[in-house]
Amino acid sequence: MQILELTCRQLRDKIAGGEVKSVDATTAVFEQIEKHDRQIGAYISTFKEQALAKAKQVDEKIAAKKPVGLLAGVPIAIKDNMCTTFGATTCASKILENFHSPYNATAVEKLLAADAVIVGKTNLDEFAMGSSTENSGLKKTVNPHDFSRVPGGSSGGAAAAVAAKMCFAALSSDTGGSIRQPASFCGIAGLKPTYGRVSRYGLVAYGSSLDQIGPLAKNVEDCALLLDVIAGHDEKDSTSVDEKTAPVRDWLSAVNNKPQNLKIAIVPELFKGADGEVVESVKKAIEIYKSSGAEIIEIKMPHFDYAIAAYYLIATAEASSNLARYDGVHYGHRTKNPADYIEVYSKSRDEALGDEVKRRIMLGTYALSSGYYDAYYLKALKVRNLIRSDFTAAFAKADCIVMPTSPTTAFKLGEKTNDPLQMYLADIYTIAVNLAGVPGISIPCGFDKNNLPIGLQIIAPAFAEEKLLQIAMLFENKTDFCKTAF
């Protein structure tokens, strides 16, 4: 088997066992990047010299029989909204195009401590605001399965890199579906952990009460391995949950355990909003679970329809606050020859921020303004609590909820760029998970008539990642839908 065909776990085991050199695996990844990334556009920056030096260091440790980390020598990519001391941290925005962070994000530090080889930073919708990676201020990314289609967003670059074998896994972030939706479009696995499970320290903030770091990988087992590495309490992040409340498990060892007396909830009304081929594939997946002994129950989630409205008020309000720091004074792009300090602020932002980012800042600022706060933002917070209550009621009856990840497969480039509302609706199935703070995973469950991947979303109670991964693995073990693009 060629190196690039291996999963993250398989490669880790072969490197640790001395069967494969990390240098060879890293070299193979960069050859793949050089061969394909000019067309795909997954990476904003790569670190070939640094990565090969790290790979050589891991190989030398193994040859000397010294202990190595959980990701010993495995080439990993990072979404370019996580701070690193190496390379720029751009958030795919012209305002941060030349920003170099003085520190690493905690999740990045954990990758390095686990002996991962970081090969580069991937493209995204600017400041993670989008569902197609067409809002990047720096470059375009396409879907490796079909270059005329989007890879999803905002983590389109990371998902495309994994699907095109230009890394073995990627670290990404999910604010309203930004891990799960591109995973669905690119035919890979994407895990959004419980809010607070993984430190957000060093993740450039978009929606602080919604953002969560998680893995994109070739399969469920690799997601479990990455979660083993990045999870845990961090005193630098006040929203990071302590070990007593949410102890870190050995998810990789537990992932193949079959869940007992499995009860799966479905919401029949939600299937009406998806394309026929998506619905058909998800229903077949449910039948596979049923034939494996799972009990399928129907439930109602009466406030699910309000999730998009609530999300786009809460997320944009938080974005308005978080992005106020990009003002042409503290750091980032500064306009040339301003007439006064007001022009420093207004022109710097106007020149360097994209249309979607401006749109969300304006929406959020309006929602927080005097006279509108109670009518919009406060009401959205109340709806958020109702959505949380829907999930609590559902999990009192079932172990998980199953639904489509996206209402469609990957759409054409440019198809929705002129209609923001249609673009927002691409996240209709994923947004509620972030509002409730619960974990969710997308795994491939089929292909449409154009041979484009279809994603199955599984949602579990807060901090129930072990059961979530086991339920996903049960389906993956009985099917063969996890296929990379090349």
Q: What is the pLDDT of residues 184-205, one digit of tens each?
A: 999 999 999 999 999 999 999 9
pLDDT of 353 > 90? The answer is yes
Contact predicate 311/431, CB 8 Å: yes
For residue 45, the SS3 value is: strand
CB-based contact 226:468 (threshold 8 Å): no
Looking at residue 273, its pLDDT comes to 85
Check residue 371 and give its pLDDT.
Answer: 87
Contact assessment for residue 177 and residue 427, using Cβ atoms and an 8 Å cutoff:
yes
As a whole number, the mean pLDDT across the chain is 96
When pLDDT is averaged across residues 427-436 and rounded to a whole number, the result is 97
475/469 Cα distance (integer angstroms): 10
Q: Is-contact 410 152, C-beta < 8 A?
A: yes
pLDDT tens sequence across 69-97:
999 999 999 999 999 999 999 999 999 99
| Sign of the dihedral defined by the CA atoms of residues 43, 48, 53, 58, in that order | positive
Q: Which of 235, 207, 204 is nearest to 437 (CA)?
A: 207
- Average confidence (pLDDT) over 242-251: 90
* Mean pLDDT, residues 333-348 taken together: 92
pLDDT confidence bin for 1, thresholds 50/70/90: low
Distances (CA, A) of 173 to 194, 401, 477: 12, 22, 26
DSSP state of 46: E
Reduced to 3 states, what is the DSSP secondary structure of residue 67? Answer: coil
Structural domains in the chain, sorted by start: 3-260 (3.90.1300.10)
Asked whether the predicted pLDDT for residue 483 surpasses 80, the reply is no
Which of the residues are catalytic? Answer: 79, 154, 178
Task: Decide if 108 contacts 83 (C-beta within 8 A).
Answer: yes
- What does the alpha-carbon distance between residue 400 and residue 294 come to, in Å, rounded to a whole number? 11
Cβ pair 444, 473 in contact under 8 A: no
User: 264-314 pLDDT, tens per residue?
Assistant: 999 999 998 899 999 999 999 999 999 999 999 999 999 999 999 999 999
Residue 290 has a pLDDT of: 97
For every residue of 248-317, DSSP letters joined together read: PP-HHHHTTSPPSS-EEEE-GGGGGGS-HHHHHHHHHHHHHHHHTTPEEEE---TTGGGHHHHHHHHHHH
Percent of the chain with pLDDT over 90: 92
- pLDDT confidence of residue 191: 98
Question: Which whole-number Å values give the CA distances from 279 to 143, 269, 447, 481, in the listed order?
Answer: 22, 12, 11, 16
